[in-house]
Amino acid sequence: LAQAFSGAASSAGRPSSAPPATAAMPPNAPQPENAKEQALWDAFQKFDVNGDGKIQEVEFTRLMKSLGSFSAKDIQRLFKEADTDKSGAVDWREFIKWICSGAATKTMSADSAASFARLLQQEARDEASFVEQAALCKQVTAYLKETNNSSEADLAAERARKKTKLKKQKGAAGLDGLNKVVTSDSMGIGDEYKGYRLPIPVTFEGAKGLMEHYLVHGETNPLHPKYVAYLTTAFTQAYKARHPKPVVVVETPKPGRLIVVGDTHGQLADVLHILNSCGLPTESNRFLFNGDMVDRGPYGVEILMMLFSFFLANQESIILHRGNHENEDMNALDSDCGGGFIDEVMRKYGLAAYRRFTSAFKSMSLCSVVEKEIFIVHGGLSRVSGMSVDYINTIDHTSVTAPHPQAADVKDQVFSDLVWSDPTNQPGKFKSERGIGIKFGTDITTKFCMQNRLRFVIRSHQVPDDGRGYMKQHDGRCVTIFSASNYCGDTGNFGAVLVLDSQHFPRYEIIEHYAPPLEDMSKLLGVGAPAKVDIEQQKADSDAATNAKRSERELERMIIAVIDKKPTLWSHVVDMGLRNQMDAEDWKELMSELVDPTLPWEEGLKQWGLANSAGKIEIDKFLSRWVVHLDSDKYSNFLTSAVQHVYQAVMALDMDLDKTLKMFDVDGDGSVDIKEVRQVLDMFDLGLTSTQLDRLTGRIFSEVCKIDEDKGGEKAQLKMKVQDFLGRFTVVYKSSQSAEGAGPKIEPWVSKVLGAVGRLIISTPADQLVHEIESAALKIQKCFRGTAVRKEMDNMKDKGEVMMTPRAGRKATKDDKKTEKAVAGVDKNGGANSAAAKMVRVFKAMDASGDGILQVEEFVNGLMMIPGINKLEADSGPLTKVKLMEVAQAIDADGNANGTINYLEFLQAFEPLEDSSGDIAESLAEDITTVLFRSRLAIRTGCQYFDEEGSGRVHAEEMLKVLQGVNSVLSRPQRMLTNSQISFLVEALKDSKDDADDDDWVDYDGFLRAFEILDTARENAVVKKF
């Protein structure tokens, strides 16, 4: 609240003590000076429900209770603080003083203040992401259409082949012939089905029986897929025939009534409660469901099955409007982001069933006119001036579920406005924060009603600001009805319906409710019998659970937001050279700036226990805590290939030791900073995207970074020793090879020898180790290289081109001394005996020629001088020189087969695999998984473009085109995978071939359903499945 309103006081000095001009205020009242003053007035009006210019205590109490964070005692105290003149009401002047002085939140807890502020904001963030996702999906489809070069004849033949195969599969499952079904007997449902048997043709008693079945069983005893297929297909055909136009002209039944139901969003308990309390749908008790029957809640299928059944039983009993959620682009979003219906249908009945639901959506009406006097629509009015009902009736509403959100066609814009727009108390038309539709003021509503000779507008689409089930605006000409009580299980609002009785028309009655949990419905209501329920008590009883769920969902949203922004956060860490530890205030500022400023990061900091004993947040631990995981063996094989490809790309450079070190340590000071490493890695084709390189660099540095004390203070730059970097980089590769079946084929005895030798190197003091190996190196010079080697070294010495090691008698140049310092490995953290330092010294000691590359002879003779190696065994026998030659050949892994071993091959053989060695590889793999997770909707859309029959599978080559298409439409910094990674992924996801099918298939539906978020701080506990 402080963040929302303190800016108004600071930017405008002090808000005007007079409110903005409205119909309820004196005509000479001054206008607001800026948008923030307008925001204050909008907040005041959320309290002032009756519009009398004062906040009565009952109004104040009702809104504050809807937040769920305040006790009755807290609310009473807060009202007394605001009511400074003790009049029993808070006027505009008292309100702004209460807000801007900070008194409003001074005595609130941080949680309560944050909850209060968030309530005063419009609920639109989730649905705004729909525009971005829908645009991306459309672009992917356009790309696939453009790049699919097959002829129409070839495409038709391929579709026919797929259709024939799928028909055989359906026939084996007993799902064919649905379009011919006309009676229950011909449905072909066997005795093994124990669920509800719906009479066909559907009767009123049959529809009632289905409702009672859901009342008792919910989704635990689902309707047979053949019934679902029949109901969706029959409804679509019947509704189109009964209501062919987008506008339904309807009368209130005489005698009888019309009951308008707002958003229900998959909340079956609310629909069952409404049908029980208001009576079942009949010709004289007609229902109008005003859109948004699906998404967010888990029971959209069951709600539609009931409504379709009642409509088929009597076509005059129900009218169904389309909302912004009867839309396949919205359905594709996760339930937490406003969607979820496609996931629900896929889980229950499959893709073919969902496509029948989308056909049903296309048949649904856009709006209705009751008795030529009342206009009912899901969202609101349009941006088009002078819009008439007759013009709406010319819209083609059956070709798509909804127009493209960025459509330029006027009729498409009107279509979108009807299902997306919201009213505002400020006159005029404004851009909506939802990203689509508009915000329309009182003048727009008045003009529309006058031009079309209407009394008022009924709409739905949003939770009323005061937590009730209805809201009246625009001098009573705009009435919002919202029927999903305790919306999403954490809002704490009431639901309501609006009843138009023919005896009292156009007067209406609003009936509020607060539905009990579905599991309690049959007990509280009794099957088929209305029950009297104290809704205030019902709400009070559920407040504690509502508050707990609200907190849980908010933390979950924060986790998903962090995961979604991980590439940005890692890039920021690399670009800014940030330290690994960060103050809490800096961390909260970073989260607000790069993730989402509206989320309660202070609460997250407490709940997650992020701060260490020094009160610092460790960035690498925080960014690695929640990971996206794909529960798929095939995908794990892909990740192994992708990680190995990176290391092999560097190792294939086959550089000598000095070049390898100098490539990263440009100034020769023995250490590298995070930005230097990132720039060098970018020079090579490592098969990584820009964000993956950021992740790899940042993760390696987080393992072994140190502050350069010479540069000291808070601004110290991250530095690490170059050999430590190469050591950690090698561990990435080794850990990926440890996966079953991964890496080059090495004999078990060779692996055992390498491990034993590595342990000897680590356990032997450095001076003793190097002395013995240097002795062998001098012998190699004499015995194997002879005069030619000595002559070559003398020539290089005279020219001052290279440094001679002390053992070989070379005189070091100034630059060579820098390199010697770089590889010496002497530091405060381990000295010459540290693992990284030893590896460099051992390699140099073996390198008799000083060329930075080990010949096989140098390698073998050097190993034979390591103390204790004569006690090792190889392949059930002594470790002889011949066996060591075989070991050398096995680790010459750069593919050149040239009988030499470079420094990275040496590290690969002997670098110890620490307990945390998998962290970097896992981090890189998680970056790949995360970008797939972020693009999963676009991937599904692309696969469904090819999967016309809804089998959930596509050809491997089609999957390749889809991933290339998604990559193509993303902006370059967001590119999710490289071409090589795409190829690895498709190859890994291929299904094994069977005898009846020689094609390579990919089960894309199974792949996209394997995502889950794990909390590594809680032993990989599953936070959420998708």
Catalytic positions, written as ranges: 325
Strand duo 478-481 + 456-459: pairing: parallel
Tell me the three state secondary structure of residue 63: helix
Q: What angle do CA 777, 783, 785 make, to 5 degrees?
A: 80
State the Cα–Cα distance between residues 788 and 546, nearest whole angstrom: 85
The one-letter code for the residue type at 775 is S
Tokens of 360: 């049903």
Nearest to 121 by CA among 339, 380, 426, 433: 433
Strand duo 367-370 + 247-250: pairing: parallel
Tell me the three state secondary structure of residue 611: strand
Q: Which residue has the tokens 């309290």?
A: 47
Q: What are the residues whose beta carbons fall under 8 Å from the beta carbon of 12, sequence distance 6 or more?
A: 33, 34, 36, 37
Tokens of 162: 């797929």
Q: Is 568 exposed, middle or buried (0-12, 13-18, 19+ CB in 10 A)?
A: middle
State the Cα–Cα distance between residues 742 and 747, nearest whole angstrom: 13
Q: What angle do CA 94, 98, 103 make, to 5 degrees?
A: 150
Residue pair 354/307 in contact by the 8 Å Cβ criterion? no
**CA 470 to centroid of chain Cα atoms:** 32
Output Rg (C-alpha) for the chain, integer angstroms.
35
Q: What angle do CA 55, 58, 61 make, to 5 degrees?
A: 90
DSSP H helices in 672-785: 674-681, 690-704, 722-737, 748-763, 766-780
Tokens of 869: 């190696």
| Phi, psi (degrees; rounded to nearest 5) at 999 | -80, 155
The one-letter code for the residue type at 108 is M
Q: DSSP character for 222?
A: P
State the Cα–Cα distance between residues 745 and 748, nearest whole angstrom: 9
DSSP H helices in 341-436: 341-348, 351-363, 389-392, 410-420
Element (H, E) at 576: helix 566-576
How far does the chain reach from its first CA to its final CA, in angstroms? 33
Q: 89: which strand partners?
A: 56
Q: 954: which strand partners?
A: 1002
Tell me the three state secondary structure of residue 330: helix
| Phi, psi (degrees; rounded to nearest 5) at 57 | -60, -35
Q: DSSP character for 810?
A: P
Q: What are the residues whose beta carbons fall under 8 Å from the beta carbon of 391, sequence distance 6 or more?
A: 384, 414
